[in-house]
């Protein structure tokens, strides 16, 4: 998401970039700092590390910034200062200590008095405490830029990740095919820093202006978030070996973590199969194919009445992000409609066995995965399958 700037005056001499994601905040700060240096090539540029863990270090960092603005080098007529990672605008003990508060008050007074035309100051702040007076004083004086990050808990994080990658590609003069972009986002996950690192690596490996799916598959590294969903993705891809390997890894982690459990893994599979079945039916009603381009898919989803489906965007194609819809559409082509319905039945049976049987959860899940992924196509014709509206609609 593009940063949102709120101009408070000062002709851009004092700028604050703030947000919750440390990587994005520092990247935006670095970009502005370099732009200023390009605009003022003869200026003295200095960076002060403001990310300090104790009060004395925080106070000294503030005092260093004050000294930096107080004087210029003999060889420069202008000054650019970057106070990087200002932890003293947070709510830590160091930020609230008397020594830090006293030094910070002097710096804020200097800002409030106004910087001269020959000076520019940039502050990058991660997770500022907007209730505290120092931040309110700074925000009232400076041009503030809010950087909104994204993560696993961000609503529609896929859309944010896609926009992020496309901006990075545009800045480098590169392109990525839709198939490659889907694969890349799904593989790396909702981590801006990791997305940038993997994009850099993949671009170098590709060695050309357009990054294709085979480049992503060959070099991109699976992120932690993608690892958490490796089981569902392997089932969607109908890859027996990958599914069983992912299942074993998830079951091993479940034995040591309260955040993971066999029933949680099962629900993840149910969500995956249900989404594929939904897209399988929509492919027929909306005349879509797994090869449908982004524009065709978005146009088709726009014709869907959102009130016919649940509010949950995972099961509502009208509210589903095209990235997630495209992935499910592509994976649904690996199954017949009858197989997806029977997969749901097997998962529901597994659910009953998990809560009522003495059979080991590992054995129940392995059996369900093997039957879904590697079983031969059902001899019963897909046309004889009962309507699936109960699985997708209200």
pLDDT tens per residue across span 149-165: 888 778 778 888 999 99
What is the pLDDT averaged over residues 185-212?
Answer: 93
Query: What is the fold, at CATH topology level, of the domain defined by 230-392?
Result: Zinc Finger, Delta Prime; domain 3 (1.20.272)
> Distance between CA 170 and CA 174 in Å, rounded?
6
Q: What are the distances in angstroms from CA 247 to CA 122, 265, 270, 342?
A: 48, 8, 14, 20
What is the pLDDT averaged over residues 15-31?
Answer: 94
Number of Cβ within a 10 Å radius of residue 204: 9
> Distance between CA 206 and CA 214 in Å, rounded?
9
What is the pLDDT averaged over residues 46-68?
Answer: 93
- Check: CB of residue 394 under 8 Å from CB of residue 387: no
| Predicted pLDDT of residue 58 | 92
Does the pLDDT value for residue 236 go beyond 60?
A: yes
Does the pLDDT value for residue 131 go beyond 60?
A: yes
| Predicted pLDDT of residue 369 | 94
CATH numeric code, 4-147: 3.40.50.300
Does the pLDDT value for residue 9 go beyond 80?
A: no
What is the pLDDT averaged over residues 218-245?
Answer: 85
Q: What are the distances in angstroms from CA 13 to CA 10, 112, 123, 181?
A: 5, 12, 11, 39
Q: Phi first, then psi: what are they for 49, rounded to 5°?
A: -80, 110
What is the pLDDT averaged over residues 297-302?
Answer: 78
> Distance between CA 146 and CA 15 in Å, rounded?
11
Residue 173's pLDDT band (cuts 50, 70, 90): very high
> Distance between CA 25 and CA 125 in Å, rounded?
7
Give the range with max mean pLDDT: 169-183, 242-256, 316-330: 169-183
> Distance between CA 257 and CA 47 in Å, rounded?
42
Domain ranges of the chain: 4-147, 157-219, 230-392
Number of Cβ within a 10 Å radius of residue 285: 10
Does the pLDDT value for residue 176 go beyond 90?
A: yes
Query: What is the fold, at CATH topology level, of the domain defined by 157-219?
Result: Helicase, Ruva Protein; domain 3 (1.10.8)
Handedness of CA 383, 386, 392, 394 (dihedral sign): positive
Looking only at the bridges linking them, the beta strands covering 4-6 and 143-147 are antiparallel
Task: State the pTM of this model.
Answer: 0.68
């Amino acid at each position: 998401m593009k940063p949102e700037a709120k101009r408070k005056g000062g002709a851009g001499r004092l700028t604050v970039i703030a947000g919750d994601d440390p990587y994005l905040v520092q990247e935006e700060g670095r970009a502005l700092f370099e732009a200023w240096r390009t605009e003022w090539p003869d200026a003295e540029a200095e960076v002060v590390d403001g990310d300090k863990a104790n009060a004395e270090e925080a106070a000294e960092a503030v005092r260093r910034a004050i000294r930096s603005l107080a004087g210029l080098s003999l060889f420069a007529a202008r000054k650019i200062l970057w106070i990087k990672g200002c932890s003293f605008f947070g709510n830590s003990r160091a930020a609230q200590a008397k020594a830090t508060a006293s030094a910070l008050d002097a710096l804020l007074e200097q800002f409030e008095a106004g910087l001269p035309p020959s000076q520019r100051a940039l502050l990058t702040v991660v997770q500022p405490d907007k209730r505290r007076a120092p931040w309110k004083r700074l925000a009232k004086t400076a041009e503030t830029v809010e950087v909104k990050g994204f993560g696993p808990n961000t609503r529609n994080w896929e859309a944010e990740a896609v926009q992020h990658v496309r901006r990075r590609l545009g800045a480098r003069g590169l392109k990525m095919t839709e198939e490659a972009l889907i694969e890349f986002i799904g593989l790396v996950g909702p981590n801006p820093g990791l997305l940038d690192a993997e994009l850099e690596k993949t671009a170098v490996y590709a060695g050309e202006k357009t990054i294709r799916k085979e480049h992503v598959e060959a070099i991109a590294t699976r992120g932690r978030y993608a690892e958490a969903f490796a089981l569902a993705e392997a089932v969607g891809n109908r890859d027996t070996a990958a599914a069983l390997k992912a299942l074993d890894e998830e079951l091993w982690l479940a034995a040591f973590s309260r955040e993971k459990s066999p029933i949680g893994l099962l629900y993840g599979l149910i969500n995956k199969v249900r989404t594929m079945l939904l897209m399988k039916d929509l492919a027929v009603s909306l005349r879509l194919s797994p090869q449908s381009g982004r524009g065709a898919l978005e146009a088709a989803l726009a014709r869907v009445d959102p009130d016919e489906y649940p509010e949950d965007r995972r099961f509502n194609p009208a509210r589903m992000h095209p990235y997630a819809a495209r992935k499910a559409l592509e994976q649904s082509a690996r199954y017949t409609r009858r197989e997806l319905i029977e997969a749901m039945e097997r998962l529901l049976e597994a659910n009953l066995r998990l809560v009522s049987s003495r059979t080991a959860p590992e054995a129940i899940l392995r059996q369900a995965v093997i039957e879904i992924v590697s079983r031969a196509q059902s001899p019963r014709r897909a046309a004889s399958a009962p309507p699936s509206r109960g699985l997708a609609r209200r």
